[in-house]
């Protein structure tokens, strides 16, 4: 499946596969010189991360790392991890009722 980016801020993107959040790519300007930081955020052992000199390079490295990561885990393991991530990242997760 192709990976898609969704801009969440200036030089900051979430990475999705078939509408499932799987990672993030952002420009780390707090470092000098700045660089593009990418990470897979799936809650299974060994999600890779790295850095690159450009957004295109970060996208390419992320795609290769993501495909390698998926090859190490079953569809069932990924499905369970996605369900846990989606439950933890739901919009109302941090809302607390006031008593």
* Residue 97 included in any domain: no
* Residue 14 included in any domain: yes
Rounded mean pLDDT of the chain? 82
* The pLDDT of residue 96: 46
* Residue 96 included in any domain: no
* pLDDT band at residue 90 under the 50/70/90 scheme: low
Query: For the segment 36-61, what is each residue's pLDDT rounded down to a tens digit?
Result: 999 888 766 666 778 889 999 999 99
Distance CA 99, CA 91 (A): 21
Judged by phi (left if over 0) then psi (alpha if -120 to 50, else beta), residue 18 lies in left
To 10 degrees, the CA torsion angle through 9, 10, 11, 16?
Answer: 20
Q: How many domains is the chain partitioned into structurally?
A: 1
- Count of CB atoms situated within 10 Å of the CB of 38: 26
Q: What is the pTM of this model?
A: 0.55
Provide CB contacts within 8 A for 96, sequence distance 6+: none
Structural domain boundaries enclosing 36: 3-88
């Amino acid at each position: 499946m192709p990976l898609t980016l969704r801009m969440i801020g200036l030089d900051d993107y979430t990475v999705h596969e078939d509408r499932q959040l799987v990672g993030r790519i952002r420009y780390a300007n707090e470092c000098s010189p700045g660089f593009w930081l990418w990470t897979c955020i799936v809650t299974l052992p060994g999600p890779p991360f790295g850095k690159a000199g450009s957004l295109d390079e970060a996208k390419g490295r992320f795609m290769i790392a993501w495909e390698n990561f998926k090859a190490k885990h079953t569809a069932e393991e990924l499905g369970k991890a996605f369900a846990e991530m989606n439950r933890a990242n739901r919009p109302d997760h941090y809302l607390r009722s006031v008593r």
